[in-house]
Amino acid sequence: MKPGDPIQVDFAIVGCGIAGLRAAVEVAQHGTVLVLAKSELSETATEWAQGGIAAVLSDEDEISLHEQDTIAAGDGLCNPEAVKVLVEEGPRYIQQLIEWGTQFDRAGTRLAFTREGAHSRSRVLHAHGDSTGREISRALMARANALPGISFRAYALTTELLLDRGRVSGLRFLDESSGATQDVRAGAVLLATGGLGHVYRETTNPAVATGDGMAIAYDAGAVLTDLEFVQFHPTALCVKGAPRFLLSEALRGEGGILRNADLHRFMKHYHEAGELAPRDIVARAIVAEMHKTGAEFVYLDMTGLDADYVRKRFPRIHATCQTFGLDIATDLIPVRPAAHYAMGGVMTDLLGRTTLPGLYAAGETAGTGVHGANRLASNSLLEGLVFGARAGIAMAGEVHPENKQTAAACASSHGHKRPKVNLHRDNPGHSKHGNNPGHGHPPSPAASGPPPGPFDQIRNILWREVGIIRSGRDLNRALEQLRALDVERPGKLGRAECELHNVWTLAQLITRCALAREESRGSHYRSDFPFPDDEKFRKHSLISRDSKVAFE
């Protein structure tokens, strides 16, 4: 290959978390695979996933119960077929992980299960206490490295998708080591870049979670769905100078309780399930208690449990909190909500196919409808595993037609048509809703006392105006502030510029979708429309580059 020539592969996969790795393993037997990561290969949301992975593998559980729990948490917006796929196929794929060397925690020789919020049974598997994602990543990476045909590129930020007559034919990435861009031509492209938590000032997500896959799919013309549904995890560590480190829901599953600044236990006043209520209810309850007491946090109290058990069960959380002078077994831990998970994303069918031919999405980047308006705890790793595998099967069938029979069999019982939508078109760049946002300048360098740069301004606006409790007034103000930012296409693209563009794009899309949904449902709460409106809004929001928000 001559310098500057495109890299030619059968399959290009953007992201190496659970969805990307599982898809790579699936397609490796059908051709050459290039997996791109914009940072280190291990810097993924999967790597930091603590709580576990939910699946029906116990004799005391039933598939139908997991299905019911998922749909109940989704508050009327789950795609029932997607949920059925998730809960029915999940156990098989987890057994496969075990065969590939994933070491889940056990009680003697039997798998150990824990219970988390809104689950009716103990069905959550964990590994090394609170390092489930890291263990799954280790096993999947080992499996991928053992297969011929898979190559990895770290510090390669995908900046745009390449199209040929309306079909995605590859991608362009920025090689941070050289500062040069490189084209990749591929028979199929999968976006598995994780979430968008860093659109918000307060987030549990790793720094790489700037919504890159969603933003470049939007720029290419793909339809995005349900962006207004951002889950705020109720319990992120709230210590001055500390990152918003996630304190797993499993802590409450094991018996931890929440107390306000006056040390009163409060969750029973908000929901009969108490600390194990759905996440949106717990998050809003914490905000209400913070307002009542004038405090910036509430407390997570594990002191009623055996101290040695707590430290052994949550070694990673214990070690992290210790660095900030806190012992989770004996101290009250200050916590507050933080942006955690995007229920929506790039709209796909049940095989990961987007509205653009040749383009697939899986994991948190995708919007399958499986989570509805509010994700059930520990279903996210399961989604990445199941739908990453299914996307891989479909990609293999598209690139090599002889494999189409396998893809068809995979989808036969659950439907497999590529998503088709009918959106009302606007003139690009002339919509009152602020379509077609461009690129931007990099954030200002850190220094003492300067005003925040545009990256931090965006995150502050979203946290302040488009957070846990929203209103039409605040959302309109957010849109005005976002549009007023001096974010224009720079002369040279670097990682900071690309991430700024992606965050600015998604900030506007989240706000527009939240403004259009004039009801409260799941993680989306409007103080001016505090009740659900099934007649108008028991539908998924849809938005594309040249369209207004629509509901179907």
Long-range own/partner contacts, residues 140-144 (CB < 8 A, 24 or more apart):
140/18, 140/21, 140/22, 140/25, 140/97, 140/100, 141/16, 141/21, 141/41, 142/100, 142/101, 143/21, 143/25, 143/100, 143/101, 144/21, 144/24, 144/25, 144/28, 144/35
Helix axis angle for 18-27 and 380-399, nearest 10°, is 30
Q: How many residues are there in the chain?
A: 552
Query: Measured between alpha carbons, how far apart are the two ends of the chain, in Å?
Result: 47
User: How far apart are alpha carbons 355 and 236 in whole angstroms?
Assistant: 36
Which residues form the catalytic set?
A: 279
214, 224 in Cβ contact below 8 A? yes
User: How far apart are alpha carbons 123 and 382 in whole angstroms?
Assistant: 12
- Residue written as tokens 């496969």? 96
Pull the structure tokens for residue 439: 């690129």
φ, ψ (nearest 5 deg) of residue 38:
-80, -10
DSSP state of 550: E
CB-based contacts of 308, cutoff 8 Å, min separation 6: 329
Amino acid at 197: G
User: How far apart are alpha carbons 455 and 452 in whole angstroms?
Assistant: 8
Radius of gyration from C-alpha coordinates of the chain: 22
189 - beta bridge partners?
A: 12, 359
- Residue written as tokens 């088709």? 420
381, 53 in Cβ contact below 8 A? yes
User: How far apart are alpha carbons 51 and 241 in whole angstroms?
Assistant: 24
φ, ψ (nearest 5 deg) of residue 509:
-65, -45
Pull the structure tokens for residue 408: 């068809």
CB-based contacts of 109, cutoff 8 Å, min separation 6: none
DSSP state of 97: H
DSSP 320-331: HHHTTT--TTTS
Q: Which residues of 340-361 are buried (b: 16+ CB within 10 A; e: fewer)?
A: bbbbbbbbbbbbbbbbbbbbbb
